[in-house]
């Protein structure tokens, strides 16, 4: 029986006849399982293989055509339409809303009104982002510590903290509010310049190429449905980061005993709600801009890695000549150059900001665990407007915190932990994806050595061509870079080891 359930099968018109001019029984014809995909083209694809049977078999050569594709056979036009409609068009709309690209319709030349609108919209969006740090300082919201404007006064070996109506927020104005904001705006402007003035067809070309290769791929790891599921996974990861970020800010406001305003004094409860809501909305908009840029980089790394995996599998199967493989690898270097020189610079700046916030959130978490009394607290602590900390016999400060109720303490701790998680994810994701791209290029180099030792599928290829291909792949030094720093697996392992050691040391010092 010929089972073609996994491949595209086309039955030509006309009757099926046996060798002695008798009609073939229906029971024997039904033994061939025919499945034609609804999106398959009505024409026979190039490279179709004809099943040649001698006179003793059931079907003649005119009966069936089985394509080289053992997987899902999609129409090329339908695949490209799917990519543009389901992925590229929503991406363009999101990027236009976030200011990363200008509003334009299907690549047509912009009119004067549309140019003016793009400039006005970008300025308006930039002003909305600038309002965020101003409103954040107005309510004294520290994303790693919470809400407060306590004023610290030193008296010898003791310190007094007052919760009065001060018009200054506690902590350093420069390093808590100004420096993170400047880091974000610099990264945002660099990303806008790259995406607006740079070549914008890299993602579209890479996406279409990978989807076209995956549409006729016999390998389960690079099927179209698997690629779409991974895209949905990236989207859900971004939504989770944004949810955690917004939830941490809401928990910080809920845990605050009172919100003191610095320079914009609300006169009613409605004005207070508007100021707090405006601060949360503008800060969350900054997070949306940052998450979108990181996901764009991760998406291109994922597509490039899939393309390299398809090339390596094709090499193992011997389905393409060595010269064709070399041309495909050279084409991937163009995508890698765009990834390293343009997107690697923009995501590297966002990565510095995410790492900065992750480190400050971790430090705040350790300090909170040390200073607060955790599970086992039987009753709420006494409330008051002042508390004093002094040195004990070992030279360390002992703190006596006041709170309204025990629930506020748990809200504060939950807000710190919730604030830490999204920045950790945004720091880890681009590093892991860049290391994946580098490892795929390294795997291609190893595949060349394996081919040279056992040229399966290339027995008819001259030995000088195989030697030339081995020299070519062994000289490949292509790898992903972030801020011009190569990212490889051992680099991530080193960072992981240092992080674990740091956590152990901090736990010994603070817990």
Q: Give the pLDDT score at 474.
A: 82
Query: What is the C-alpha separation between 300 and 202, in angstroms, rounded?
Result: 9
Identify each DSSP E strand in 105-174 by its residue range: 141-142, 146-147, 151-155, 158-162
In three-state secondary structure terms, 352 is helix
Tokens of 131: 């309002």
Model pLDDT for residues 443-463, shown as the tens digit of each residue: 888 887 777 776 667 777 888
Query: What is the C-alpha separation between 151 and 159, in angstroms, rounded?
Result: 10
Q: Give the pLDDT score at 107.
A: 58
Residues near 7 by Cβ (< 8 Å), separated by ≥ 6?
66, 67, 69, 70, 71, 73
Judge whether 118 and 102 are in contact, CB under 8 Å: yes
Tell me if 59 is assigned to some domain: no
Q: Quickly tell me which residue has 């992080």 as its tokens.
A: 499
Residues near 111 by Cβ (< 8 Å), separated by ≥ 6?
none
Tell me if 32 is assigned to some domain: no
Q: Give the pLDDT score at 293.
A: 95
Residue 29 has φ and ψ, to the nearest 5°, of -65, -40
List beta partners, residue 141.
147
Domain tally, the chain: 1
Q: Give the pLDDT score at 511.
A: 66
Residues near 94 by Cβ (< 8 Å), separated by ≥ 6?
292
Structural domain span for residue 328: 76-373+385-455+479-510
Q: Give the pLDDT score at 386.
A: 38
Q: pLDDT below 70 — which residues of the chain?
A: 1-75, 105-108, 149-167, 199-200, 216-223, 371-405, 454-456, 510-511
Q: Give the pLDDT score at 199.
A: 65
484: region left, alpha or beta (phi > 0 left; psi from -120 to 50 alpha): left
Tell me if 138 is assigned to some domain: yes
9-11: strand order across its sheet: 9-11, 64-66, 49-50
Tell me if 22 is assigned to some domain: no
Tell me if 305 is assigned to some domain: yes
CB crowding 454-493: b at 16 or more within 10 Å, else e: ebeebeebeeeebeebbebbeeeebbbbbeeeebbeeeee
């Amino acid at each position: 029986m010929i089972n073609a359930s996994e491949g595209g099968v086309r039955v030509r018109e006309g009757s099926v006849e046996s060798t002695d001019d008798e009609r073939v029984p229906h029971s024997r014809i039904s033994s061939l399982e025919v499945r034609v995909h609804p999106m398959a083209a009505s024409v026979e694809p190039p490279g179709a293989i004809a099943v040649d049977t001698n006179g003793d078999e059931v079907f003649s050569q005119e009966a069936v055509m089985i394509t080289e594709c053992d997987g899902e056979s999609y129409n090329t036009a339908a695949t490209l339409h799917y990519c543009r409609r389901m992925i590229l068009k929503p991406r363009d709309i999101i990027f236009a809303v976030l200011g990363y690209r200008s509003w334009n319709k299907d690549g047509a030349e912009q009119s004067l009104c549309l140019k003016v609108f793009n400039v006005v919209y970008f300025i308006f969006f930039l002003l909305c982002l600038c309002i965020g740090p101003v409103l954040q300082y107005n309510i004294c919201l520290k994303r790693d510590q919470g809400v407060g404007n306590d004023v610290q006064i030193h008296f010898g070996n003791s310190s007094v903290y007052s919760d009065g109506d001060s018009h200054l927020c506690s902590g350093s104005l420069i390093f808590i509010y100004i420096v993170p904001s400047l880091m974000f705006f610099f990264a945002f402007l660099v990303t806008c310049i790259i995406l607006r003035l740079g070549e914008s067809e890299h993602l579209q070309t890479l996406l279409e190429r990978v989807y076209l290769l995956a549409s006729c791929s016999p390998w389960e790891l690079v099927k179209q449905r698997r690629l779409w599921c991974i895209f949905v996974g990236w989207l859900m990861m971004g939504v989770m980061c944004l949810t955690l970020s917004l939830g941490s800010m809401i928990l910080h406001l809920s845990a605050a005993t009172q919100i003191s305003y610095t320079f914009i004094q609300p006169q009613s409860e409605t004005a207070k709600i508007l100021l707090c809501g405006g601060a949360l909305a503008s800060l969350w908009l900054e997070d949306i801009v940052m998450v979108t840029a990181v996901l764009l980089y991760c998406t291109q790394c994922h597509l490039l890695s899939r393309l390299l995996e398809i090339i390596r599998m094709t090499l193992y199967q011997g389905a393409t000549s060595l010269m064709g493989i070399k041309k495909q690898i050279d084409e991937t270097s163009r995508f890698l150059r765009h990834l390293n020189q343009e997107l690697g610079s923009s995501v590297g700046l966002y990565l510095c900001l995410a790492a900065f916030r992750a480190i400050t959130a971790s430090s705040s978490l350790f300090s909170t665990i040390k200073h607060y009394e955790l599970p086992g607290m039987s009753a709420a602590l006494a409330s008051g407007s002042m508390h004093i900390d002094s040195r004990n016999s070992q030279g360390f400060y002992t703190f006596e915190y006041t709170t309204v109720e025990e629930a506020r303490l748990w809200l504060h701790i939950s807000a710190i932990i919730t604030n830490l998680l999204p920045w950790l994810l945004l720091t880890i994701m681009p590093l892991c994806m860049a290391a994946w791209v580098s490892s795929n290029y390294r795997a291609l180099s190893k595949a060349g050595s394996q081919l040279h030792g056992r040229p399966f599928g290339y027995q008819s290829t001259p030995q000088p061509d195989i030697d030339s291909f081995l020299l070519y792949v062994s000289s490949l030094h292509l790898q992903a870079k972030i801020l011009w720093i190569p990212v490889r697996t051992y680099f991530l392992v080193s960072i992981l080891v240092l992080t674990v050691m740091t956590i152990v040391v901090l736990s010994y010092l603070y817990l």
